Structure 1
């Protein structure tokens, strides 16, 4: 690849996709670029359009605006920027959302957990224990 910056971005997308496949969703994949109707760099991050960035200078406002546009284009409720942390692996990167998006996500999580707890406390308790132990 002639453009070193593009090569770095492609490598980051590939590493993140592999991480998602192993730890979150085996069907995760890199998206084909769509131009003005871009849908994010990686699909398969549950409920999110993920915009990946591996840049020396981090510009969060730009990343978040792009992620939110791409979430709309992708028909996903949430957009996020996945930012590579210099000299670190994928697990040490950053997932960034604006507060508005994060509050909507937390409200959804709260409401879904409450519904599951009311529907089947035993299932909720087992899942809660599983996820606490995984942390």
Structure 2
């Protein structure tokens, strides 16, 4: 007999993986080994993803878990992807601490400035593509 909660979580991990891979990422589910959990999904640049599909939301716990597992996996950022009831995968929530988000945005700002300085045409093309995707 299988655990229904575990099956629900595993199914949600697969939905996230498929959603992100359909958008050009190479995300994979990971099997936990040893005592230091390294998150549910890897391959999302610079992140580990902790997937949560629970009836009651416990956001502080999810953020702490994602950040701890990012450290265990050697990634700079952790994010919890939380299932939104009766909504599609893309309408779920990405949850992180404000401190983590500020570190991520500082990195993006600095990388954008560096790219713009050395390859302005490439930067402009990428900027245009992402603005049109919104």
Q: Which bracket does the TM-score occupy, shorter chain normalised?
A: over 0.9
**Gap runs ≥5 in structure 2:** none
Total equivalences in the alignment: 134
SS at match of 1:55: coil
Deviation, 1:34, is: 2.8
Normalised to the residue count of structure 2, the TM-score between the two structures is 0.96
Deviation, 1:44, is: 1.1
The one-character-per-residue Cα deviations of 1:94-114 (angstroms, maximum 9, x if unpaired) are: 111101100000000000001
- Counterpart residue number, 1:101: 100
The one-character-per-residue Cα deviations of 1:89-130 (angstroms, maximum 9, x if unpaired) are: 111011111011000000000000011111111111110000
- Counterpart residue number, 2:29: 30
Summarize the alignment of residues 1-135 of structure 1 with structure 2, pairs less than 5 Å apart. 2-25=2-25, 27-135=26-134
Q: Which has the higher helix share?
A: 1
Cα distance in structure 1, aligned partners of 2:92 and 2:54: 12
SS at match of 1:52: strand
The one-character-per-residue Cα deviations of 1:66-87 (angstroms, maximum 9, x if unpaired) are: 0011000100000010000000
Of stretches 112-121 and 32-41 in structure 1, the one that deviates more from structure 2 is 32-41
Normalised to the residue count of structure 1, the TM-score between the two structures is 0.95
Cα distance in structure 2, aligned partners of 1:53 and 1:34: 19
Q: How big is the alpha-carbon RMSD for the aligned residues of Structure 1 and Structure 2?
A: 1.1
SS at match of 2:18: helix
